[in-house]
């Protein structure tokens, strides 16, 4: 995406508009070149490539059959060999809240793991797909297997990150409720955890203890505009739910495609890179893989210096809101782990360098001793006869 | 806990789905070319 191209502001968001000016203002100046690189060749940023689709699709599952629209698809090409795909989906107006949660929870499954997850079908342009992964890779994207990192690939799903949770997508959602609908703490818990229907097709909530739900609410819900608008963050889902109307409702929806999406994406990227760095450390044999160790030290240093910032948003609301995301994604503990890795790698490098110096010193000492011995003026009596009484002077030549 | 709320319509909903993957370093710029060729816009 190019912030200077104002025509893009309302091209990809299903009738919503994302203000590029507001996007620029919302982030700290040092974040802008990371999130919004000036052109497609700036490899230091998260380069976004978007395709407008607006195609009608159908979703069939045991407890929900519904049409939906794929508005557009993004591919982000990011530093440290990370790619990210983002799919924008609009659900029909009037769909029940349980259905919305169930859709999000089910559609995010790229590869079914449990038996009950295998009964989903996605229909698009006269084609039917049993797996969401097949739908995305056959219908929406060009063939991309050849560009994926084969070494990282899992046998079941190319491009898979072995250090990432599972083959489920992260969900960002916006839900506008009717004005008369109360939004309870139970609702917010279910939204956060994407609790749709259970195995019997009944709406469910993934916790029974009200104290637990209360604690969860305190940790995960941003309720500055409580009773009207809430934001919730979890490991699987970032959501905005609101009863706002008119221009405010429009504005909140646009923010979920704009400022909030980009902040969330940045934190998501941080998490992926930190996990990748921790994973690569576990794969390295520090004694043998010297160049890999140096590469990892370089990557950690570069990521810490150029990309990872604790202050991302320039506005107080953004800072408050995404403090919860930062905590949910465990960015600080992950970074501490990676910093410890860096110090461990440096210590190891020092030790190895020390060992190398010791070996060198030993070799030089041997040479010095030997050359010292042979450097002395020697007179060898046994050779006396052979050389007719001439003295033999030996002065060894050492190269080093 | 009883959460059997039926006929609880939403006014408007959209969702975005993100997943990460790893790219082969040498192929990244070719991937960019492929995306642009396939009508993705920067």
> Residue A314 — very low, low, confident or very high, per pLDDT cuts 50/70/90?
confident
Identity of the residue in A93, A107, A204 whose CB atom sits nearest the CB atom of B12 = A93
Where residue A83 falls among pLDDT bands split at 50, 70, 90? Answer: very high
Helices (DSSP H) in A27-176: which residue ranges? Answer: 32-35, 97-107, 132-135
**Residue B3 predicted with pLDDT over 60:** no
Alpha-carbon distance of A71 to A75, in angstroms, equals 14
Cβ-nearest to B3 among A50, A95, A186: A186
Residues near A10 by Cβ (< 8 Å), separated by ≥ 6? A16, A17, A18
Average pLDDT, integer, range A57-66:
93
A49·B42 Cβ contact <8 A: yes
CA pair distance A122, A94, nearest whole angstrom:
20
H or E element, residue A24 = helix A20-26
Identify the top-confidence range among A146-155, A237-246, A321-330.
A237-246
Q: Do B22 and A161 touch (CB under 8 A)?
A: yes
Q: What is the pLDDT of residue A267?
A: 94
pLDDT at A43 > cutoff 70: yes
- Please say if the pLDDT value at position A400 is more than 50: no
The predicted pLDDT at position A255 comes to 94
Residue among B10, B14, B40 minimizing CB distance to A51: B40
DSSP states along A306-336: II--S--BSSHHHHHHHHHHHHHTTHHHHHH
Please indicate whether residue A268 or residue A377 has the higher confidence score (pLDDT): A268
Burial zone of A103 (CB within 10 Å; 0-12 exposed, 13-18 middle, 19+ buried): buried
* pLDDT tens-place string over residues A283-297: 777 667 777 788 888
Write down the pLDDT at residue A395: 57
Say yes or no for a CB contact (<8 Å) between B3 and A104. no
Using the Cβ of A353 and the Cβ atoms of chain B, whether some distance falls under 8 Å is answered with: no
Residues 191-250 of A with CB under 8 A from B: 195, 202-205, 207-208, 249
pLDDT at residue B16, rounded to an integer: 97
Per DSSP, A16 falls in state -
Q: Strand, helix or coil at A32?
A: helix
pLDDT digits (tens, 9 = 90+) for A91-117: 999 899 999 999 999 999 988 877 666
3-state secondary structure A163-183: CCCCCECEEEEEEECCCCCCC
Do B10 and A94 lie within an 8 Å CB cutoff? yes
Please give the mean pLDDT across all residues of chain A: 86
Q: Looking at the predicted structure, is the pLDDT value of residue A177 above 70?
A: yes
**pLDDT classification of A156: cutoffs 50, 70, 90:** very low
End-to-end Cα, chain B, rounded Å: 48
**What confidence tier does A345 reach under pLDDT thresholds 50, 70, 90?**
confident
Count of A-B CB contacts under 8 Å: 194
Q: Tell whether A186 is within 8 A of chain B (Cβ).
A: yes
Nearest CA in chain A to B9: A96
Alpha carbon A234 to its chain centroid, in Å, reads 15
Is the ipTM reported for this complex over the cut 0.95? Answer: no
- Span A57-61, average pLDDT: 94
DSSP A118: G
Mutate to test the interface with B, among A40, A84, A210, A235 (most CBs of B within 10 A): A40
- Look at residue A268 and tell me whether its pLDDT is greater than 80: yes
Does the distance separating the beta carbons of B23 and A82 come in below 8 Å?
Answer: yes
What is the C-alpha separation between A36 and A152, in angstroms, rounded? 28
Q: What is the pTM of this model?
A: 0.84
Give A211-266 pLDDT, tens digit per residue: 999 999 999 999 999 989 999 999 989 999 999 999 999 999 999 999 999 999 99
Q: Is the Cβ–Cβ distance between A207 and A102 less than 8 Å? A: no
The continuous run of DSSP H or E covering A282 comes out as: helix A259-283
What distance in Å separates the CA atoms of residue A377 and residue A205, rounded to the nearest whole number?
94
């Amino acid at each position: 995406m190019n912030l200077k191209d104002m025509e893009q502001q309302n091209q990809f968001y299903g009738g919503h508009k994302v203000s590029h000016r507001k996007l620029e203002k919302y982030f700290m100046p040092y974040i802008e070149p990371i999130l919004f690189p000036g052109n497609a060749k700036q490899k230091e940023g998260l380069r976004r490539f978007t395709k407008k689709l607006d195609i009608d699709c159908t979703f069939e599952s045991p407890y929900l059959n519904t049409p939906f629209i794929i508005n557009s698809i993004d591919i982000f090409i990011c530093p440290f060999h990370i790619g990210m795909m983002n799919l924008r989906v609009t659900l029909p107006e009037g769909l029940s809240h349980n259905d919305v949660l169930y859709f999000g929870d089910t559609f995010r499954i790229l590869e079914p793991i449990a038996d009950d997850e295998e009964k989903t079908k996605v229909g698009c342009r006269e084609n039917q797909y049993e797996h969401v992964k097949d739908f995305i890779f056959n219908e929406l994207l060009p063939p991309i297997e050849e560009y994926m990192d084969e070494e990282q690939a899992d046998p079941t799903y190319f491009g898979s990150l072995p250090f990432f949770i599972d083959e489920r997508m992260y969900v960002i959602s916006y839900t506008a409720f009717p004005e008369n609908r109360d939004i309870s703490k139970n609702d917010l818990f279910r939204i956060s955890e994407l609790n749709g229907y259970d195995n019997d097709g009944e709406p469910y909530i993934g916790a029974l203890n009200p104290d637990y739900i209360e604690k969860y609410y305190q940790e995960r819900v941003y309720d500055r505009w409580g009773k009207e608008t809430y934001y919730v963050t979890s490991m699987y889902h970032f959501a905005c739910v609101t009863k706002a109307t008119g221009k405010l409702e429009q504005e909140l929806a646009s923010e979920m495609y704009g400022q909030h999406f980009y902040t969330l994406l940045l934190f998501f990227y941080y998490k992926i890179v930190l996990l990748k760095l921790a994973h690569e450390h576990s794969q390295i044999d520090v004694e043998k893989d010297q160049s890999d160790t140096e590469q990892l030290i370089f990557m950690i240093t570069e990521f810490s210096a150029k990309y990872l910032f604790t202050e991302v948003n320039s506005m107080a609301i953004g800072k408050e809101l995404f403090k919860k995301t930062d905590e949910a994604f465990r960015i600080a503990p992950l970074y501490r782990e990676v910093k410890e890795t860096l110090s461990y790698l440096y210590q190891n490098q020092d030790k190895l360098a020390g060992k190398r110096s010791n070996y060198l010193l030993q070799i030089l000492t041997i040479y010095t001793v030997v050359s010292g011995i042979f450097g002395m003026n020697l007179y060898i009596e046994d050779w006396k006869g052979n050389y007719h009484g001439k003295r033999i002077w030996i002065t060894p030549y050492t190269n080093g | 806990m009883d959460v059997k709320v039926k006929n609880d319509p939403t006014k408007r909903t959209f969702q975005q789905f993100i997943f990460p993957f790893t790219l082969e370093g040498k192929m990244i710029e070719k991937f960019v070319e492929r995306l642009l060729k396939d009508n993705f816009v920067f």
